[in-house]
Amino acid sequence: MVLENLEKKLKTIGFAFGFGAAAFISNPMPAYADTIYHGKLKNAEKAAYVEWNAVKEASKYTKELNKMDNNDPKYNTIKEKRNKSVKDAIKRVGKENNYDVVVEKDDPKIDNYNNINNQVKKKIKDIEE
């Protein structure tokens, strides 16, 4: 008897979950994934972009991470150091060049924005020396 009641409850929960998931899939919420590293998007006149995956390769910490196992206890600490130096480099290049905003390429898409990947790569190397 107890097993039958449990089975009925599980079927009810499964149906409710499936119905809710179907409703979510058929009517998705809009996604807002704007990645802004420096400044503000609103009223930005001078804008630049970077490609995170391209600029992070300039970090000495990325090279260390590539040699490590994800389960290594030092992995997350080194990853945090890498992320901090990359973000600092992006912000510094943005400020030094008077950019109103620096975003991830195409996130959001801005007309006439400048690619500053090479400047950021150089700045990463300066910061990490």
Three-class SS of 106-119: CECCCCCCEECHHH
What is the number of H-type helices and E-type strands within the chain?
A: 5, 4
> Are the C-beta atoms of 101 and 47 separated by less than 8 Å?
yes
Looking at per-residue pLDDT, the higher value among 28 and 115 belongs to 115
Asked if pLDDT for residue 25 goes beyond 60, the answer is no
Q: Give mean pLDDT, residues 16-26.
A: 46
Q: Give mean pLDDT, residues 66-75.
A: 93
Average pLDDT over all residues of the chain: 82
Q: Give mean pLDDT, residues 98-103.
A: 93
Instruction: Supply the pLDDT for residue 125.
Output: 96
Asked if pLDDT for residue 87 goes beyond 50, the answer is yes
Instruction: Supply the pLDDT for residue 109.
Output: 78
User: Model confidence over 29-69: pLDDT tens digits?
Assistant: 433 446 888 888 888 889 999 999 999 999 999 999 999 99
Instruction: Supply the pLDDT for residue 41.
Output: 83
